[in-house]
Every structure is written in C-alpha cells, then in structure tokens.
Structure 1
C-alpha cells in the first residue's frame, strides 16, 4: 500500500493532515478517474481541522455544486447533523453570548433524569423566591401539588422560570443546580458556557455560544423524555381543581404570530432577554436526516427574525447534506481523539476498493485548489511512503496540542 500525506499547521496551532489511501494497484490515473464524478460526496473517513470553528466569520467547505449558506443577521449560528454531530457550517461558533432561555436546554439535560414524570410535588413558598423581575412564568402556585411532567411542560412550553426554580429546588437547590449544569456542559464538550442563573435569566458573566447550544440540542434529542417535552405544542397546566391551556412559545413549532410552521420540526427551545436578544435551538427531521440549528441574536428583522433565519439555515442544511465537507464536530474532543487513534489502527485493514480521504485541511495546501483537495487529488509537497502509524500519531499529537492550548489554561 502507498500512503501519501500532507501535514501543515493551522492558525490555531494544530496540525492538519490529509491522507489518501489508494489500493495496491492504484495509480495517479485511477485516482483521477475515481474522483471525477460531477457531484462528489464527503469522504468516508476524515478528521476535520479542530481549530476551524475557533475562527471568526462563516466557516463552510462546499463541494462542487453546493450552494453557499444563506446570509443571515444573527451574530452567530451553527448548522449540524444531529446524528453524526458533523457541523456542516457555522458563523462565529464559539463567540460567547448571553443565551437567554435556551440555557433551559442544559437545565433539562441536567435535571430530567432525577425524577419520574409521574412523581408529585407540593410547592413551598421558599421554592418561588428569587425569580427575576419580568421573568416568563407558567403560573406555579405555593401550596399546589404538581406532577413532575406538569412542571416540565411549564419549562418547555411557557419557558416558566417559576417551574425552573421549583425543579431546581427538587434537585439540590439553586447553587447546586448551577454547579451541576456547569459540570454537565463540560462533560458534553461545551466549554464556552458559564452558568450563573439556571433559568437563563440575564446575569453578569453568564454566556454560552451557538456551538454549545447546538451540543445541548443534539444531546437532548438522544433523550426520549427531552424530545417529547420540547416537541409538545399544547398542554393543560393544573390550577388546583381546574386547569388551563398553555402553548409552546416556539413559533416554528406552532405556527403562531404569522410564522409558518416548519415541516418536521422537533422543537427544542427559544429564548429572549433584553441583553441576549432572541435566541433559538431548533431541530428538524426530513427523511433519514435530522439537523440541529442554533441561532443567537439576529440584528435585524424584529422579534420573529430568529425563526425565519433558523428556517433558512435548516433549508440550506437539508440541501447541503452530502455536498459539504464538515467544518467541525459537536462531539467532545476526547471522542475525536479516540476516533483518530482507532482510524490510525484500522487504516491498514481498510478495504482497498477506492481511495479514502482523512481530511483535516481547512484550506487547500500551497500549490493546489480547494476543489483539488475535496476531489481527492494528491497535494503538492507530499511525501510518499510515510508509515500510517506515524501519521496517526501526528494527528493525535495535533489534537492534544490544540486541546491544551484552547482549554488547558481555562479550567471550569
């Protein structure tokens, strides 16, 4: 087997590696023939440049025939495949911004597993203290008994900070919940998030990012309870001997206020504060594919712009699937490092029927175009015969170096 490779350094300081693994009888001519189709698809195996999503501006790697992402006004956004975690495109993915009530997605990921939906709880006065002025409320009352499922409907549909306060009290209290959420975020690889107020209410130093919100959305879709709550349009909320209806405030889900419902929408969570502007995590399914999109603080178009910009990004994502190289991953870096090590170990056993590219280059190496790289052409300056084990080791070292430089000094 002949292994050709190129190693370069990105702006983030991590090495980017491109591997082309032809079969025993492969030649330059056969490689050219294999990659000359009109509409190429992403390689079967790759590792993207781990520093790409740290860059400002829009990050996308379209293949031939792919449309560019829509031009939207949000300060940051991410479009990702919810199944694989691949980030199809992003803008200012790690920019720290106030998350508003989209932080309730992290709250749910943290607290949902701790009680059964049918458990009942009688609310005390202490559990309703400290709710921020102007908070959205579902109407939880002292002395009333609620099922846990009622409280979660209040969180997801009405974005009720009163329901969040009660559930937080049931899970160790406000300060404990803050610490638990911070730990949960780190365990998911969401390192831009700093939790101060678990309900998402504006607080000094509380930030997240479009990347982290997409991570929370993807993780939530793997929990049937989370998915059921976030996709519920209407519910009855108890008020003693009677109940009243509550409606999900996510307009893409309900079609309210002149916003057209998005086909296949699974919901997730919207938010708004005067400091954060409008924020939204959305997910939708079309055929076998599910996408998650996060949008933070559109700069024009009014309060409903966040829904229309999410719609545009979802539409683009479904059209672009299979026509773009991923620019990142929602999976924790530890998972990516394990994947790279497994890829290096399994490399010699891979089928030799066609070229396989392990792509980490954010831009084409000197002397070749982006199109050449995406279509499997061998970059200039490569060294033939480099052992696959050395390449795998270089990739693992690069990822470790980037992880240390970006996160090592930051801590929690």
Structure 2
C-alpha cells in the first residue's frame, strides 16, 4: 500500500473533489501541496517518486541533530572535520581552529546551506557515519519510506534519494521545533569572521530567495521559510511553509524541467497560492499522518 493513501501512488497530478484548477505551466518532476495543521495532502504529482533531494535533505539533518546539538553548544573546529566534503560544495566559511557556537553553525546550515557547517555539526553528533544512520532512523520513524540517506548535507551520492512526500514530512516535523523554525525563517544574519575578515563578523543572506527576496525573486507574503537545494544531478529543489488566515500550507517542488533560474520559486509560489485557495474546499488526496486512516479515492 502507498504511504499516505493510494491516490498518492498514482502518476501525474492528483486533486480531489472541489479543488480549484491547478496552476498552469507546472514543469516539476514531482510536487505536493499539504495542510500542515490537519495533515491533509491537498494535491500532488508523483509524490513518491524517488529523486535526489540536494540540500533540502538538510531539513532531515536539522530535525535529527538539533535536539542533540543545540544553539548553546560550543565547539572548536578540527581540520579533519571538514574532510569528505564534495567538490564545489556550498560553504559558509568555517575556519579550522576557531571556536563556534551551535547557533552560528545552524545559521550557516539554514542560510548559506553550508556543507562545512553540516560536517562540523555531524562531528559534534558523533561523526558523519553515525549522523547518516541517525537520519535514516529518523526518516523511518516519520514514515518517510522513500528516503535513503548517504550524506548528511544532501550532496549527490549514489543511491541517495527522497521524495516530495518525505521532504514535506521533514519540514512539517522540523517546524515543531522552535529553533528549526527560527533558523529557517531567518533572512539575514552575522557570521563569525576569521583571518580573511580580521576577526570581524560578516553578513550572510538566506539562499532561499523567496524568503530573502534576492535574485529578482519577490518575497512571499506570510512565508515562514523552508529549505532550497541545487545540484546538477538533482536540479532545483524547494520546500516552503507559509501561513495565511489561520492556515499553514506546505509546498515541496522537485526539479522543474523548464530551464529558468527562478522556475522552482515561481512554481512553488503558484502552488502556495493554490493551496490557500483550496484549503477547506478541496477533498484531500492523501494524508501526512500515515498511521491515521487515509481518504478514499
């Protein structure tokens, strides 16, 4: 049986009775729109397709490791902790030998998608192999059966996949943690400096352009935040949460096929708008609470 309901296992766009027309020009290989509060999946397309997640997998990393490595932790970085990062990895600028607060490292993860910050936090959690195992255990506990974790930072690795359904589970779970919610909703912050800045903190902006409003992407009204990702293998991936009129809508979009730099944001924006129009009107096509009875198709 399909996790979350049989309709979520069907190919192509799925909507229920009473749903408004879907946005036009959706090119993503997979997407899903859900109500965070009720757990209802309002619409989806190929929700369980196993696809490379890129840095959206950092949501699972944070949901798994934040309880163990809080913002109040302090850690001196050893050079070996930065070993094993993939070539061309995004980085916030961790300096070996320097001491960082956990909160700074977490801002490095959420704002700059820093794989260097992930590796240091993974070391603080007992090492990369243990963290990968912890993440897999956490995914299974959440009912995320499409996810196979190979790296803690989402960098492409053979066999590493997730799905729009699973990434939505990670965002929904993460938002229940006040620190996760604070970090993912932070648009700008200061990061501790190193030798290159003569020890002075430097500014960092969130690479989630729907939150920071950079790169020609307008901010989305009511956006809580989420996580974006990109690799050449995964394409663009994005999971966002927004609130309006007492409802919180979750949208996950994986790998739009139309080759425009902001396409993942325009499709996510359109699906958020659709979700707010559909909530309370559309019969759900599935549930984010697999233990509960799923809607009949």
Where on the TM-score scale, by shorter chain, does this alignment land: which range?
Answer: over 0.9
Pick aligned residue for 1:159 from 104, 113, 117: 113
Q: Give the equivalent residue in structure 2 for 1:232.
A: 186
Unaligned 5+ residue runs, structure 1? 1-11, 15-47, 341-358, 363-412
Q: Is 2:70 the partner of 1:110?
A: no
Distance 2:275 2:259 in 1: 22
Pick aligned residue for 1:140 from 78, 89, 94: 94
Pick aligned residue for 2:11 from 50, 56, 64: 56
Unaligned 5+ residue runs, structure 2? none
Alignment partner of 2:34: what SS? Answer: strand
Q: Give the equivalent residue in structure 1 for 2:85.
A: 131
Q: Is 2:45 the partner of 1:91?
A: yes
Pick aligned residue for 2:35 from 46, 62, 81: 81
1:311-332 alpha-carbon deviations (Å, 9 max, x no partner):
000000000111111111111x
Q: Is the 8 A contact 1:281 1:292 kept in 2?
A: yes
Distance 1:100 1:116 in 2: 24
Distance 1:361 1:247 in 2: 44
- Residues 49 and 284 of structure 1: is their aligned pair in 2 closer, same or farther, counting only changes over 3 Å? closer
Distance 2:188 2:148 in 1: 31
Structure ID, larger Rg: 1
- Residues 83 and 124 of structure 1: is their aligned pair in 2 closer, same or farther, counting only changes over 3 Å? same
Distance 2:180 2:54 in 1: 19
Q: Give the equivalent residue in structure 1 for 2:273.
A: 315
Q: TM-score, normalised by structure 2?
A: 0.95
Q: Is 2:22 the partner of 1:69?
A: yes
Q: Is the 8 A contact 1:106 1:181 kept in 2?
A: yes
Runs of 4+ aligned structure 1 residues displaced above 4 Å come to: none
Please report the RMSD computed on the Cα atoms of aligned residues, expressed in angstroms.
1.5
Q: Give the equivalent residue in structure 1 for 2:283.
A: 325
Alignment partner of 1:218: what SS? Answer: helix
Distance 2:70 2:31 in 1: 34
Q: Give the equivalent residue in structure 2 for 1:361.
A: 296
Distance 1:268 1:330 in 2: 17
- 1:246-265 matches, within 5 Å, as 246-265=204-223
- How far residue 139 of structure 1 moved from its aligned partner, in angstroms, is 0.2
Q: TM-score, normalised by structure 1?
A: 0.69
Alignment partner of 1:157: what SS? Answer: helix
- How far residue 301 of structure 1 moved from its aligned partner, in angstroms, is 4.1
Residue-pair matches, total:
292
Distance 1:267 1:169 in 2: 26
Alignment partner of 1:75: what SS? Answer: strand
Pick aligned residue for 1:286 from 228, 236, 244: 244
Alignment partner of 1:94: what SS? Answer: coil
Alignment partner of 2:61: what SS? Answer: helix
Distance 1:360 1:326 in 2: 7
Distance 2:98 2:121 in 1: 14
Distance 1:170 1:149 in 2: 13
- Residues 121 and 288 of structure 1: is their aligned pair in 2 closer, same or farther, counting only changes over 3 Å? same
Distance 1:134 1:184 in 2: 28
